[in-house]
């Protein structure tokens, strides 16, 4: 079928690197999981669901690969929303701030972590009134930490709020 070959050859390859990375990460995890499951035991009690499902999952990831290499030819609904540089940086900044907040809860203290996180997110969100940021971060820290201290039966390590 020369025409179809020609048609296929004429398709421009455009790689969506983010999507490729996502697919590769899922495939790597699934492969590792399959190896891990098989290393534990080959008994049916261990592999009954996981082994066939992992293989099906890997096959589906292979099936999605052509979409990764034809970014431009995909229907609009399957294309990721375009993000300008400031928007992407805001999202990455929020993710990083959240990760640091979770680390800070246990490494520094719940109160300090909430204060810094609230302060940072307001800045990332575009708030520039320093007095408002300070008041909001302080109030949200006190209300959230004290409120959850009343509800949660576990110790919440704090620097100032006891």
Partner 1 sequence: MIDLSALASALSVLTSGFDAWIWVIPGLAVGLVFGALPGISITMAMALFLPMTLYMDFLSAIIFLTSIFTGAGFGGSVPAILMNIPGTSSAVATTFDGYPMARKGLHNEALGAALGASVVGALISYIVLFFLIVPLSNIVIRMGPLEMLGIAVWGLLMLGSLTGVSLLRGMIAGCFGVLLGTIGMNTAGYLRGAMGIPELLDGVPKVPALMGLLAASALFGLINSNFIIESNSERRLSARRMLVGFFSILKHKVCQLRGSAIGIVIGATPGVGSSVSNLLSYAEAKRTSQDPSSFGQGNIEGVIAAESANSSSEGGSMATMLALGIPGGGATAVLLAAFAMHNVVGGPDFIDKSKDVVYIIILNNIGQCLLLFPVGFLFIYVTSSLVKAPLRFLIPVVLVAAAFGAYAIDGSPAGPITLCVFAAIGWVLARYKYPPAAVVVGMLLGGLVENEALKTMQISSGHLGYVFERPGAIAIFVLIILSVWLTARAKRKKVIAAG
Site residues (vs partner 1, CB under 8 A): 16, 18-19, 22, 26, 30, 33, 36-37, 40-41, 43-46, 48-50, 53-54, 56-57, 60-61, 63-64, 75, 77-78, 80-81, 87, 90-91, 94-95, 98-99, 101-102, 105-106, 110, 114, 117-118, 121-122, 124-127, 136, 140, 144, 148, 151-156
Q: How far apart are CA 42 and CA 110, in angstroms?
A: 45
Shortest spacing between CB 2 and partner 1, in angstroms: 29
Q: CB atoms < 10 A from the CB of 115, how many?
A: 22
Sign of CA pseudo-dihedral 144, 149, 155, 159: positive
Q: How far apart, in whole angstroms, are the C-alpha atoms of residue 8 and residue 39?
A: 42
Q: 14: helix, coil or strand?
A: strand
Handedness of CA 28, 34, 37, 38 (dihedral sign): negative
Shorter beta-carbon distance to partner 1: residue 2 or 154:
154
Instruction: Give the nearer residue to partner 1 in terms of CB position, either 11 or 18.
Output: 18
Specify the residue, 5 or 77, whose C-beta has the smaller distance to partner 1. Answer: 77
Closest approach of partner 1 to the CB of residue 38, in Å: 9
Choose between 10 and 129: whose C-beta lies nearer to partner 1.
129
Of 40, 65, 64, nearest to 51 by C-alpha is: 40
Q: How far is the CB of 119 from partner 1 (least distance, A)?
A: 9
């Amino acid at each position: 079928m020369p025409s179809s070959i020609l048609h296929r050859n004429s398709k421009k390859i455009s790689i969506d690197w983010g999507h490729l990375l996502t697919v590769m990460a899922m495939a790597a995890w699934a492969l590792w999981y399959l190896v891990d499951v098989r290393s534990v035991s080959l008994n049916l009690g261990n592999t009954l669901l996981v082994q066939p499902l992992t293989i099906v999952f890997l096959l589906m990831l292979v099936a999605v690969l052509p979409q990764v290499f034809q970014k431009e030819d995909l229907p609009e609904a399957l294309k990721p929303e375009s993000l300008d540089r400031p928007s992407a940086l805001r999202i990455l900044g929020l993710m990083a701030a959240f990760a640091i907040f979770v680390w800070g809860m246990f490494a520094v203290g719940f109160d300090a972590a909430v204060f810094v996180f609230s302060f940072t997110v307001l800045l990332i969100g575009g708030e520039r009134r320093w007095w408002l940021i300070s008041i909001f971060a302080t109030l949200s820290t006190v209300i959230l930490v004290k409120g959850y201290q009343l509800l949660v039966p576990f110790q919440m390590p704090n620097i100032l709020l006891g």
